[in-house]
Amino acid sequence: MSLFIRAVLAAVLFLLGMSPSFATQKGPIDVSNGIKYEFLARWDVDQLNKILKVDTPEFAGITVPYTPARNAVRLYRITYNSVIPEMGNKPTVTSGLLAVPDTDGKSFPTVSYQHGTVYGKQQVPSFAEQSPETQLMIAQFAGQGYMLIGADYFGLGISTEPEGYMVKGSHQQATYDLVVASRAVLADMKLSSDKLFLAGWSQGGFVTMAMLEKLEMVGLKVDGAATASAPLDVYALMEGFLVYPRKFDAVWLNSIMILSSFAYENYYGIPGLAHSLLTDEYYDIAKKAYDRQPFNPADITTDLHKLIRPEYFDPHYFANSAFGKLIANAQSYRWVIKSPVRNYYGETDEAITTGVGRMAMTYAQSMGSGNTNVEAVSTGKTTHRGTFATAVPQWKIWFDSK
């Protein structure tokens, strides 16, 4: 290609608001050390604003004012190598999203978004068209000059592993390695980022805090971490389901028990763990749900007394069971947090209690005169999805202030 044609092409792409170096690549681009990225799509401003004004209210069941998108966004899937800590650092390949503002800027702050519980293998960030929560994050953040990354977690996206649901070490590894991989991709794109923020909803709130613990441990600066409806202590959450249920608890809480029991059986290598928790009547269909095989969700009971073996409703038995001992370690707040954190919680959230939502702040402030880096923020009488939808624009205002 002649210099003249290159110049004309660059000018045309600039007028279209696209960078000439990586506007519409076809096929994956190799970077280094097994890191690859592939162009997926370009979402224009109209599409992003439709997400904010139409799609998100339909998903969340609540109308929240969002700041309109200012720029289009380019979406990429990053494929990268990682390891599974619970399996002796077994090598694996996984995926995640990179969303880049389609502007002529060269440096953007980054938000790493950790997604919530999903029931489809591809309802994850790098398959954004299947993930309403990721769409909101793209529209509200990438549509306003932030880069957005999001790990798909082991077992989801392109991963061939069993799902590592609420497996803390694996969540930490997948998210940390995506930060490293995304920076290699940005360098290849001749882009950079001078700020790193973390955000996550529901399961992703747990993952966000676990990720923060990992990043602080390795000395990687985080400018702010925000969550919505975060199950900060899974043991306390499950004890509530089993022993102190609320009248408005969600009927889908059975999925948390199912997915975590099979994930822990696989990742911690304890054959029969899930069967020790789940009744014979529902074990087979529960396994289909975990394995993402075809099944009718209506065939899985929402009555935990029918799904869970009766002995687990005894707190002492649960605490001393193999499953209970593993779940006791599924917490993401019990360390001295150095980064600024805001945990948003809903007062009528059907999944996450206010006590669990406030737990990181309660723990941090119990230390002597109090660690004031952690703040719990109420979104009012919001549902599980409503808490997320309400928190997102508040996350952005806070991140913008940093």
CA-based nearest residue to 234, from 86, 130, 356? 356
CA-based nearest residue to 327, from 169, 175, 200, 166? 166
Q: Are 132 and 121 in contact (CB under 8 A)?
A: no
pLDDT digits (tens, 9 = 90+) for 26-58: 689 999 999 999 999 999 999 999 999 999 999
Please indicate, yes or no, whether residues 322 and 266 belong to a single structural domain of this protein: yes
Boundary residue ending a domain (327, 355, 375): 327
Please indicate, yes or no, whether residues 317 and 369 belong to a single structural domain of this protein: no
Percent of the chain with pLDDT over 70: 94
The pLDDT mean for the chain works out to: 94
pLDDT digits (tens, 9 = 90+) for 295-341: 998 999 999 999 999 999 999 999 999 999 999 999 999 999 999 99
pLDDT digits (tens, 9 = 90+) for 270-296: 999 999 999 999 999 999 999 999 999
Domain range enclosing 285: 234-327
Residue 50 makes CB contacts below 8 A (sequence gap 6+) with none
Please indicate, yes or no, whether residues 145 and 82 belong to a single structural domain of this protein: yes
pLDDT digits (tens, 9 = 90+) for 223-241: 999 999 999 999 999 999 9
- Work out the angle between the directed axes of helices 203-218 and 168-188 (0-180°, nearest 10): 70
Boundary residue ending a domain (327, 362, 384): 327
**In terms of C-beta density within 10 A (0-12 exposed, 13-18 middle, 19 or more buried), how is residue 59 classed?**
middle
Tally of helices (H runs) and strands (E runs) in the chain: 16, 10
Percent of the chain with pLDDT over 90: 93
pLDDT digits (tens, 9 = 90+) for 148-206: 999 999 999 999 999 999 999 999 999 999 999 999 999 999 999 999 999 999 999 99
Beta bridge partners of 38: 77
Q: How many domains does the chain have?
A: 2
What is the C-alpha separation between 221 and 198, in angstroms, rounded? 11
Q: What is the pTM of this model?
A: 0.93
Q: According to the model, what pLDDT value does residue 285 have?
A: 97
Residue 400 makes CB contacts below 8 A (sequence gap 6+) with none
Boundary residue ending a domain (271, 295, 327): 327
Q: Is 2 inside any structural domain?
A: no
Q: Is the pLDDT of residue 9 over 50?
A: no
Task: Please report, for the domain that includes residue 119, its CATH number.
Answer: 3.40.50.1820
Q: Is 363 inside any structural domain?
A: yes
Please indicate, yes or no, whether residues 101 and 147 belong to a single structural domain of this protein: yes
Assigned token pair, 141: 């953040």
